[in-house]
Structure 1
Amino acid sequence: MKNFILLVLFAILIASCKIKTYKNNSKANIFVKYVDPFIGTGGHGHTYPGATVPFGMLQVSPDNGISNWDWCSGYHYSDSIVSGFSHLHLSGTGIGDLADILFMPTNKKLDLTAQTTSRDQLPYKSKYSHVNEKAAPGSYQVFLEDPKINVELTSSLRTAFHRYTFAKNDKQSVIIDLGFAINWDKALRTGLTIEDQYTISGYRFSTGWAKNQKVFFVAKFSKPISESVLLANKQVITANSAEGENTAAQLFFDTNNSEELDVKVALSSVSVANAKDNLDEKDDFNKTKSEAAKIWNSALSKIEVKTPTDSLKTIFYTALFHAQVAPVTYSDKNGQFRKEDDQIVTAKDYTAYSTLSLWDTFRAENPLLTLLAPEKVSDIVNSMLQYYDTKKILPVWTLYANETNTMTGYHSIPVIVDAYQKGIRGFDAEKAYQAMKVTMMQDQRGLNYYKTYGYIPYNLLDESVTITLEYAYDDWCVAQMAKALEKNEDYEFFLNRSKAYRYLFDPKTGFMRGKSQDGKSWNEPFDPKHSNHREHTDYTEGNAWQHSWFVPQNVDDFISLHKSNEVFTKRLEQLFTESSEITGSNISADISGLIGQYAHGNEPSHHIAYMFNHAGQPWRTQYWVRHILDTQYNTTPNGLSGNEDCGQMSAWYVFSSMGLYPMNPASGEYEIGSPIFEKVTINLQDAKTFVIEAEKVSDKNFYIQSATLNGVEFNQTAISHKEIVKGGILHFVMGAEPNKNWGIKK
């Protein structure tokens, strides 16, 4: 008996070891479990909770149906009504577009002929509750209360998968509304065709922020269509196809003794035929959902953080998630894509990307991708160069290959230079340089004034200060590329022009100010707290306090304009301690996340806290960076203090929480801030790792006491990308009081 008991215990031990081994080998949820896609769906975050994969072509997500600023992504956490589930969405932008190809399940026959002017009049809308709503990387679920239908969504790279679960014995039906639009978007011409018992196809041509947007689609259902009602411009059509400005359909399905109805949807900018080619025919819903989680887990595993605080992991991995949803895949499976002029071209040896929010993302999002997805960076550059082939100018903000010309500067330039400086070579460097040079030497968007006066006079163009400072930075970037390619005359020319900020610095006030074309008189009266959104102003979405610091290319020279480190740091400290009052009658809504006059909710502020490093007071950078990390991000739907802007708000957190930040994003260097995690492991290419350790770090111990790099004393406030990609260990010792001797040596 004793031997038998021992045998049983031994068997249990072996079995438990096997179970434990199995669990350790299954990493499907090790990183994705920390992601909360609802972070940023409240407040002014403007994110969506729906399903996509990293840089996916589709973003299948719920649409509340409201056309307001905080519904730019189609969804806001404050809402409780859903109008349907469309397939294209913008993550965290300030302008609403897309929400194309809307599907909505229902359980009864509806009258779709009535004209609707608001969401309240939509016959297929439904209430829902957050209690019955879930989101995870690559999947989304919500229960529709009115028709009592459970909706599940997932996606692969180019195909969205829907699963609708109806109540037993309910009618099974799906609405498709191609006229549905929010915000700036408006359907111009749409079409629907019932191809066979299981398949429908169609197209939607629209205008809005993207003036020439053409989307083709195909949808395949898991059950045969038993009945259909097609409409064109609110009139019922008896044929199997309908065309008009506004087309819609209600499809009914045989139940086949099953409550579940699945549908696959694929899109293309080129044709229905390409959409069919993009469709994942073999995969089913469950397999795709599981694969999407694995793909996300792999993408999130690029950076591993160690901390006893789970909420910090949630904020970090959600940020890492948001930093990899845009830009989005635009070229089809066969490489084809549509350009703004309706040319169909083929991306050979690269994937074309769209949704390039460059004014935002050049700062930290694009530099982060050089670590997370360097193979995609050259594709992004090639996408911009393809745009240049058509327009003979580099893009500003492209959506579905359309130039929106939104925001200031030409920040495709620092993205290209950043890639080249970091050794990414999957694009034609000579062509890229010529594109940058031609772009900065043309006369559009105020460059004619910039070339004539050396700056942009305030009386000739709105937002003159911001535009001048950003062109000066773009010039510096062109100069660096010229230097790398040994174009010495161009290097000297653009380097000299990159000092344009000197024209606008007012030593009396310490601010960058609008200057008249006479080269002497300032724009009066002057109030550094005044904001006027996008018109009759010298600053873009902000004021003088927020925009006077944009000289990342030459911080030392910028400090010299203040005459001393002491004067500079006093003014910089005042930025964070000044009252947060913003004056004016048309204040920009983008001014959010205020700490004093510092506005973390908008991108122009993002580099500023790191400038103390250059003025001999890095402990101030450490203090304010930690303060921003602690106060501007949390785990609620209001967890972002401003627009996510296609990953930039999150990229700031990813970098800063590790203790790094690309203050000058085209320099190939990262400033040192204040690491928040005990240990960070960046998993690089070629199986290399770069580890950042913060010994004794805590909510009070955020000051750097000392540091070593690979065991050697490290006493500087910047580290190069080249050093990081070699692999190694950067070890910090943290403390509660600043060490004013660390990092002050040049």
Structure 2
Amino acid sequence: MKPILETIDTRFGTASKHAFSRGNTLPYTGVPFGMNYFVPQTSDQEGSWFFDPHLPIFQGIRLTHQPSPWIGDYSWLLLTPITGEISGDTLFHRQSSYNLERAIFNPHFLKIFSERYQIETQLSPTCYGASIHLRQIQGKALSLYLHAADELTVEQVDNRTMTLRQEGETETNKSPLVMYTALASSKDILSIKQEGQDLRIDFAGAEDQVQLATSFISKEQALFNLPKQDFEETKQDAKTNWENLLGRFDVVETGPVDRTFFDHCLYRLFLFPQTFYEVNEQGESIHMDLASGTVKPGLLFTNNGFWDTFRTSFPLFALIIPEYYRQFLEGFLNSYRDTGYLPKWLAPDERGMMPGTLIDGLIADSACKDMAPELEEEFLKAMLETATKADLKAINGRHGMAQYQELGYLSTDFHESVSHTLDYAYSDFCISTCAAKLGHEELAQTYSQYAKNYQNLFDPETGYMRARDVDGNFRPDFSPYSWGRDYAECSAIQASLGVLHDISGLSQLMGGKEVFSNYLLKSCQSLPLFETTGYGYEIHEMSEMATAPFGQLAISNQPSFHIPYLFRYSNYPQYTSLLIKTLRQKAFRAGWNAYPGDEDNGSLSAWYVWSALGLYPTCPGKARYDLGIPLFDHLRVYLADKNQWLDIRTQQNHEHFHFVKNCQLDEKEVQSIRHQDLLDAQTLNFTLSWLPNH
């Protein structure tokens, strides 16, 4: 059975706080990869954590662009339906309780009943807006408050239509950021009043359908973006959009597990990146180039951190929704054309967050899978320019680029120098891979050598990757349990395994396969100890590792995503399936406490989906999958490029069978699988066992 959209509760993972994450998600209602999402706001006192699933308070529906609480929101607008007069001008004076039991939180449909005002609010989204149905059940006249962090200016177009303009600036580059919102009511607008910085709109009647749309280009474009259909038709269109993507997974037989969490992960998978281009009246794709403040042709996407998503989300897109992946690539190339750099963390323009330039992983992965060959030469040029051109603002490209070129590593002069160095070495592998494919042999060889720069930070005495100063001396006060400073959101224990592109080389560097195997064993067997040296306080990722019984395998965060699959390269390959199945059972749950840590733009959901398939893209940029252990007895996956279904079957899928006896691709036994072989196959069969093979 394909996923049933109405059974997906968007609140999974929302029971999070600044100090501890169970996903740090929001209950987004929208269409896949939409420009806006819509979330009921429960509090304006918690900053980015403005929704609490346990708090039955409704301050309004927030049109949001927040990709993560750590990034924050921008160009947001709060719409609060009320009736009657309000005694004060704050959100506290306007808020109402709402009935948690009667509320519906679906990807394509949101329904909230306000107890104070006796108003039922229903919302169905479009890519650029939503259709909102309001009904005051006692027949009282409806009003709507509009509240934003940016100053709102209003223009009434006619007696049922108005436009808003709100101007802010982007977080890092401080570029002007203007959002236009169009509102069209099915009833006359009686009045529009300014109350403080907010607006109050009074409508004629107790029931109304309000069409809403936004634009980052112009008020005329916002008006053009208004939904063209009524509420029910809009809802059906949103449902169809979701089902087109969710329906590419068909769980024929679940076996001994529940599919609820799997279905939720599919929903999370198709939220990011978000659309940042629009379609004009001539049917042309256009976007606002925030760097120049001008409208340019072509696609553009935003709200994506490549440090998070290159590992799991985009390799899954390449397999499941290749037609979308090609559009994303075109949009990211337009980011480079607009700014001169490939993006690292877009929200809406470059934030300069996290180590590395890991969009390189997307580009190499798409190249080795022949996703968009016509773009490869320009992407190679973009990768080289991003790797070798310094940014005076230190936002774009490689931090410490000149020093990395000189020393072959970043020194202790730079924050998170070890993580940066390892990620740059991986990016150099990606450049080498793309250059080789395009026949640039000398360039490929040069960057293949650079890809070994990770070796410059290995300390054979301790067995870890360590920070060095400019003279080559290791930082003296070293502890493998110390987080931060030299490492991004991890310690040396996890970071030292962050050589995705050369696992065999890392194994040899550590002292051979046995030493590498013992390192992996020790990491999983150790206590989850940590030291706060680099941060000065306990960050939530430390808390999540410490309170989960998985040793130093901090599955809550990206540096550990691939670690269970590294056992496939060790003396204990059978332990990969044991770890994956145990993590699925113990670290993830169908509920508001859903995830073991930050879900991060779909990346952790994608990790779970990969685990359910029994496959993993350990190194994006190599068209090969390592084997794990599937979740279901029988799962069918639609491969769009081949217009055919792949059947993944699991024999002896008992709850206590944690090991893979054998795996066959079209009746041929395999230990790993090439991407093209998977596309060409009909069936992938796993047989599980109680005890491992010897």
Match of residue 589, structure 1, among 540, 557, 560: 540
Kindly indicate whether the alpha-carbon contact (under 8 Å) linking 1:663 and 1:671 is maintained by their aligned counterparts in 2. yes
| Distance in structure 1 (CA, Å) of the matches to 2:470 and 2:602 | 38
1:476 to 2:429 alignment: yes
AA paired with 1:429? E
Quote the residue 1:270 is aligned against: 217
Quote the residue 2:64 is aligned against: 88
What is the correspondence of 1:593-632 to structure 2 with a 5 Å cutoff?
593=545, 594=548, 595-632=550-587
Quote the residue 2:366 is aligned against: 419
Match of residue 162, structure 1, among 125, 132, 149: 132
Kindly indicate whether the alpha-carbon contact (under 8 Å) linking 1:94 and 1:645 is maintained by their aligned counterparts in 2. no
What is the correspondence of 1:127-526 to structure 2 with a 5 Å cutoff?
127-179=97-149, 187=150, 189-207=151-169, 209=171, 211-212=174-175, 213-231=177-195, 234=196, 246=197, 248-255=198-205, 259-281=206-228, 283-308=229-254, 312-334=258-280, 335-348=285-298, 351-400=299-348, 402-425=349-372, 427-443=374-390, 444-458=398-412, 460-519=413-472, 521-526=473-478
| Distance in structure 1 (CA, Å) of the matches to 2:26 and 2:374 | 32
- Which whole-Å deviations, capped at 9, do the CAs of 1:445-499 have from their partners, x for residues lacking one? 12121111100111x1010001100111011000000000111111111111111
Match of residue 570, structure 1, among 518, 529, 553: 518
Kindly indicate whether the alpha-carbon contact (under 8 Å) linking 2:108 and 2:125 is maintained by their aligned counterparts in 1. yes
C-alpha displacement at 1:305, in angstroms? 2.2
C-alpha displacement at 1:405, in angstroms? 0.6
Match of residue 710, structure 1, among 666, 677, 687: 666
Match of residue 9, structure 2, among 19, 36, 55: 36
Q: Do the aligned partners of residues 734 and 93 (structure 1) sit closer, same or farther apart at CA in structure 2, a change above 3 Å counting?
A: farther
Quote the residue 2:395 is aligned against: none
Match of residue 107, structure 1, among 77, 83, 87: 83
C-alpha displacement at 1:145, in angstroms? 2.1
C-alpha displacement at 1:417, in angstroms? 1.5
Quote the residue 1:53 is aligned against: 31
| Distance in structure 2 (CA, Å) of the matches to 1:427 and 1:558 | 34
C-alpha displacement at 1:715, in angstroms? 3.4
- Which whole-Å deviations, capped at 9, do the CAs of 1:46-83 have from their partners, x for residues lacking one? 222232111112212212334547x45x4232433232
| Distance in structure 1 (CA, Å) of the matches to 2:42 and 2:210 | 21
Pick 1 or 2: higher relative contact order, CA cutoff 8 A, min separation 6: 2
Kindly indicate whether the alpha-carbon contact (under 8 Å) linking 2:110 and 2:123 is maintained by their aligned counterparts in 1. yes
Kindly indicate whether the alpha-carbon contact (under 8 Å) linking 1:49 and 1:140 is maintained by their aligned counterparts in 2. no
C-alpha displacement at 1:735, in angstroms? 0.7
| Distance in structure 2 (CA, Å) of the matches to 1:481 and 1:426 | 10
Q: Do the aligned partners of residues 254 and 34 (structure 1) sit closer, same or farther apart at CA in structure 2, a change above 3 Å counting?
A: closer
Higher alpha-carbon Rg: 1
C-alpha displacement at 1:661, in angstroms? 0.8
- Which whole-Å deviations, capped at 9, do the CAs of 1:662-682 have from their partners, x for residues lacking one? 110121111111112111211
- Higher alpha-carbon deviation: 695-704 or 481-490: 695-704
AA paired with 1:655? W
Kindly indicate whether the alpha-carbon contact (under 8 Å) linking 1:86 and 1:99 is maintained by their aligned counterparts in 2. no
Kindly indicate whether the alpha-carbon contact (under 8 Å) linking 2:131 and 2:227 is maintained by their aligned counterparts in 1. no
- Which whole-Å deviations, capped at 9, do the CAs of 1:527-546 have from their partners, x for residues lacking one? 211224xxxx0011221122
| Distance in structure 2 (CA, Å) of the matches to 1:719 and 1:706 | 13
Kindly indicate whether the alpha-carbon contact (under 8 Å) linking 2:255 and 2:632 is maintained by their aligned counterparts in 1. no
| Distance in structure 2 (CA, Å) of the matches to 1:582 and 1:221 | 56
| Distance in structure 2 (CA, Å) of the matches to 1:375 and 1:498 | 31
| Distance in structure 1 (CA, Å) of the matches to 2:556 and 2:3 | 30
| Distance in structure 2 (CA, Å) of the matches to 1:597 and 1:208 | 37
C-alpha displacement at 1:220, in angstroms? 0.7
AA paired with 2:246? L
Alignment partner of 1:206: what SS? strand
Q: Do the aligned partners of residues 87 and 570 (structure 1) sit closer, same or farther apart at CA in structure 2, a change above 3 Å counting?
A: same
Structure 1 unaligned spans of 5+? 1-26, 180-186, 235-245, 741-746
Alignment partner of 2:346: what SS? strand
Kindly indicate whether the alpha-carbon contact (under 8 Å) linking 1:93 and 1:643 is maintained by their aligned counterparts in 2. no
Kindly indicate whether the alpha-carbon contact (under 8 Å) linking 2:41 and 2:62 is maintained by their aligned counterparts in 1. yes
Q: Do the aligned partners of residues 667 and 449 (structure 1) sit closer, same or farther apart at CA in structure 2, a change above 3 Å counting?
A: same
AA paired with 1:126? S
Match of residue 699, structure 1, among 644, 655, 659: 655
- Higher alpha-carbon deviation: 593-602 or 722-731: 593-602
Aligned residues: 668
Q: Do the aligned partners of residues 227 and 266 (structure 1) sit closer, same or farther apart at CA in structure 2, a change above 3 Å counting?
A: same
- Which whole-Å deviations, capped at 9, do the CAs of 1:269-296 have from their partners, x for residues lacking one? 1111111111122x11112112222221
| Distance in structure 1 (CA, Å) of the matches to 2:170 and 2:599 | 21
- Which whole-Å deviations, capped at 9, do the CAs of 1:603-640 have from their partners, x for residues lacking one? 11101111111124210111111111111211011111
Kindly indicate whether the alpha-carbon contact (under 8 Å) linking 1:457 and 1:464 is maintained by their aligned counterparts in 2. yes
| Distance in structure 1 (CA, Å) of the matches to 2:320 and 2:153 | 40
Alignment partner of 1:39: what SS? coil
1:689 to 2:637 alignment: no
Alignment partner of 2:270: what SS? coil
- Which whole-Å deviations, capped at 9, do the CAs of 1:423-444 have from their partners, x for residues lacking one? 1126521111100011112235
Quote the residue 1:723 is aligned against: 677
Quote the residue 1:9 is aligned against: none
Kindly indicate whether the alpha-carbon contact (under 8 Å) linking 2:565 and 2:626 is maintained by their aligned counterparts in 1. yes
Kindly indicate whether the alpha-carbon contact (under 8 Å) linking 1:331 and 1:353 is maintained by their aligned counterparts in 2. yes
C-alpha displacement at 1:646, in angstroms? 0.8
| Distance in structure 1 (CA, Å) of the matches to 2:457 and 2:386 | 23
TM norm structure 2:
0.92
| Distance in structure 1 (CA, Å) of the matches to 2:29 and 2:635 | 28
| Distance in structure 2 (CA, Å) of the matches to 1:523 and 1:636 | 44
Kindly indicate whether the alpha-carbon contact (under 8 Å) linking 2:3 and 2:263 is maintained by their aligned counterparts in 1. no
C-alpha displacement at 1:111, in angstroms? 5.5
Kindly indicate whether the alpha-carbon contact (under 8 Å) linking 2:618 and 2:625 is maintained by their aligned counterparts in 1. yes
Kindly indicate whether the alpha-carbon contact (under 8 Å) linking 2:15 and 2:592 is maintained by their aligned counterparts in 1. yes
| Distance in structure 1 (CA, Å) of the matches to 2:659 and 2:70 | 35
Quote the residue 1:242 is aligned against: none
| Distance in structure 2 (CA, Å) of the matches to 1:30 and 1:415 | 28
Kindly indicate whether the alpha-carbon contact (under 8 Å) linking 2:257 and 2:632 is maintained by their aligned counterparts in 1. no
Q: Do the aligned partners of residues 92 and 680 (structure 1) sit closer, same or farther apart at CA in structure 2, a change above 3 Å counting?
A: farther
Alignment partner of 1:650: what SS? helix
Alignment partner of 1:583: what SS? coil
- Higher alpha-carbon deviation: 354-363 or 297-306: 297-306
